[in-house]
Every structure is written in C-alpha cells, then in structure tokens.
Amino acid sequence: MTNYLQEALGALFSNRLRTVLALLGLVIGVAAVVAIQVLGQATSGALSGSLRFMSQDTFIVLPDTQKGFDPKSMFTLADLAAINRMPNVVEAIPYTQLPVTARFGAQTAKLNVAPVGDDPRFLAQPLETGRPVTQGDVAARTPVCVISANAAEKLQADAAAIVGHALRAGDNHCTVVGVMRKAPTGAINFDFSPDILVPYTVFAREHMRGNKIFEAQVLVDDTSSMTQTERTVNDYLAGASNGKFKYRALDSHFFASILDKLFAIVSLVVGAIGAISLVVAGIGIMNILLVSIVERTREIGVRKAIGARKGQILLQFFLEAAALAVFGCSFGAVFGLLAGWYVNSHYLIKISGVIVPLQWEQSVILASVFAAVITLAFGTYPALRAARLDPIEALRYE
C-alpha cells in the first residue's frame, strides 16, 4: 500500500501545474462551504448575544395573546406559590417593567423599574460593585434597589459613588445597594433588561394593583431542564383556567432559536450554491485522471504484461483521486476556518461585543465527507477505465 501511495504522489508531483489547477477549484469550493457554515453560526450567535433581555437562569411566563388579551387569563399569587413548589423551580416572582423618570442629584433620566428576587441569579449581569437584594430586604420590604450600568451612565453617576445613596424612581425612593457590570456592546445592541431592580415585595406594594398578575419570572436550578420546566408551568396555568387559556414562556434561548433557524436556512441555500463549485472541481479531478491514463497507457500495458492485476491498477489510480480529494478538502477546510475566524474576530465582534466560539468540529466533518464523496464519485470511473485497458492494445498505443 505504501508503494502505491508513493507512486500516486509521485505522479501528481510530476505534473505540478495540472495538480495545482485541479486542487484550486476543490480548495475554493470546500473553503466557501466551510466558511459559510461557520459564519452563519457565528453571526447567529453574535445577534443572539446582542439580544439582552434577562438572566439565562430565568424565563418569563405570560398568557398567550395571539387571539387577543383577556383579563381573565391573568393568574394570582396563589398560582405563583404553586409554581414555587414545582421541581427545578427556585423561585417564581411577579414581573413587569414600568417606565419611570429617575432622579439622582440634579440628573434625571427615563429608565424602567422591575421586581427582583433575593437570588443573584435573577440579575441579567453580575455585580460590578455593592451587593444584591437579600432575603431580608424581600421579607421586610426594604426600599433598596440594584441598578444597571446603563442606568448609572444615564444618571452620570460613578458606580462606586452611587452605592449607598438614595435614588428617586417615579414617585418612590430607594437606596442603591449594588450596580451591575456593563454588558458587552456592539453596533447592534437590543438591550431590553431592566434599569432599576427593587425587591418584588416592594414592587408589588408600590406598583401592583390587586392580586392579578400578567407575567411572572421563574428562576430554575438546572438550565438544561428549563424547557421541561416551562412546559410544566404552562400546563399548570392552562389547567388552572380549566383549559380556557394558553400560556407561553420566553427565555434568552427563545430569540436565539429563531435566529438559529433563520441562519440555518440561509446557510443551507448559500452552502448549496457553494457546493456547485465542488462538483466542478470533482469533474476537473476526473478529467486530470483521464488525461493521466491516456499519457500512461503504455505504462499500464507494461504493468499488466508483467503480471499486474486489475485490482492493483484500480488501486493505483484510485489513490491518486483520493490524494487529490484529501489535500484539496484539507486545505479548503483550513482556509475556510481561517476566513471564518478572521471575520468573526474582526467584524462580527462589532455586532455584539463578544466573540462567538467557532464550531470547527462540524467543518472537519464536512471536509471529510466532501473528500470521501469526491473520491468515490469522480475517481472511481477513471480508475476502472485504467484497470480495464487491454494490455496488448495498451502496449501498441503511441
């Protein structure tokens, strides 16, 4: 086998220009398909990263209003108590965001206020300074708050300086106990996270009217089981309404899944177009092998005359096709990954401010599949043709 491989590589090296031209189309085709796949995933991740809504450990549950909103679909604090007892649920709290005019010193800004629980995982970003809302704050309805870096910036206040000072949010006051870290930002930045977070008991006292709740935020213990927990909560609320209403859950993965589906379709379409170049490259490889057979007809006749079997001739030319496919697909995969890395690290980072890890494993699999398919599809016929040559006619060939 080693001798056959050495002969195949020697034959390709002796016709370097022809080999390079055959490889060029294959390298470009594989690089295009790999780069498109990688960049499609990276772009989807970058856009998902720019959609900042809530903590990744929580989800929002609310009535499904596709057919219009019915006040009877709202649930109660008793329903939240039942949700709190469900598996994988750490805590369920009332949730909404209300616009307020905030004032700190002489500065005012249009911000929004929302409730928060006593678990730090409720926060969309980790704390830069200060402390989170505690269980004691929730139980005692202490008027404290945690603010976002965006709120501190709009109020022109230093994060460390504002902690411990009073902040006016609408008609109410709260003492700032913590400031969240600034989230990575880019050219596209859909930040829907709240600016001022107060204990949900304080929020209920100051902003909620009555016992009815339109939406709730649920903190889960295991995010890998979040989908099942969402389904359990939705089914419970639907059952509590005797099936009259349906409910839906929104989490940070909801918008990401929509973008993933969109870019999967785009990548599939563009990848199919790029695959056409692979077909053209495969035809080029087949033509080169056919030309090589014509040039080496007498050599094949000599080999057969001294006892070479059909299988040996078949293996010789099949290895040449395999070598072309492996080299072309390997170089193409490397160039595709490099192109994807460069665009991801220099351009896509400007979308969300974060670098999305590249899915290189899938690219390696794609390149391997392409190499195998091209070898079988475009290398088999020339190899069979060489193996079937009549030795007497081959020796007579000029």
With 70 as the cut, is the pLDDT of residue 382 above it? yes
* Amino acid present at 125: Q
119 contacts 91 by C-beta, under 8 angstroms: yes
Specify the long-range contacts of residues 13-19, CB closer than 8 Å, at least 24 apart: 15/288, 15/292, 18/288, 18/291, 19/288, 19/324
More confident residue, 394 or 151: 151
| Mean predicted confidence (pLDDT) in 114-124 | 90
Reported in sequence order, the residue ranges of the chain that DSSP labels E, i.e. its strands, are: 51-52, 58-63, 75-76, 89-94, 98-104, 107-116, 127-130, 144-147, 166-169, 172-180, 190-191, 196-199, 212-213, 216-220, 247-251
122 contacts 139 by C-beta, under 8 angstroms: no
44 contacts 351 by C-beta, under 8 angstroms: no
Q: What share of the chain is helix, strand, coil (3-state, %, to 5)?
A: 60, 20, 25
Query: Which pLDDT belongs to residue 8?
Result: 60
Query: Which pLDDT belongs to residue 307?
Result: 74
Residue 119, Cα to own-chain centre: how many angstroms?
28
Buried b (16+ CB within 10 A) or exposed e, 137-169: bbeebbbbbbbbbbbbebbebebeebbeeebeb
| Mean predicted confidence (pLDDT) in 347-363 | 62
Please return the burial class of 353, using the count of CB atoms within 10 Å of its CB with bins 0-12, 13-18 and 19+: middle
Query: Which pLDDT belongs to residue 10?
Result: 67
pLDDT in tens, 149-204: 889 989 988 888 899 999 999 889 999 999 998 876 554 555 667 889 999 999 98
> What distance in Å separates the CA atoms of residue 172 and residue 273, rounded to the nearest whole number?
60
What is the token pair recorded at 289?
């092998």
Half-sphere exposure of 257 (CA within 13 A, CB side): 6
The owner of tokens 């926060």 is 123
Query: Which pLDDT belongs to residue 44?
Result: 61
Q: To 10 degrees, what angle do helices 252-295 and 297-305 make?
A: 80
With 90 as the cut, is the pLDDT of residue 35 above it? no
With 60 as the cut, is the pLDDT of residue 306 above it? yes
- Count CB-CB contacts under 10 A for residue 306: 8
pLDDT in tens, 308-343: 777 777 777 777 777 877 888 888 888 888 887 777
With 70 as the cut, is the pLDDT of residue 59 above it? yes
pLDDT in tens, 136-148: 999 999 999 999 8
Percentage of the chain surpassing pLDDT 70?
A: 76
With 60 as the cut, is the pLDDT of residue 353 above it? no
**Sign of the dihedral through C-alpha 279, 285, 288, 289:** negative
Query: Which pLDDT belongs to residue 187?
Result: 46
pLDDT in tens, 236-261: 999 988 888 899 888 877 666 666 67
78 contacts 127 by C-beta, under 8 angstroms: no
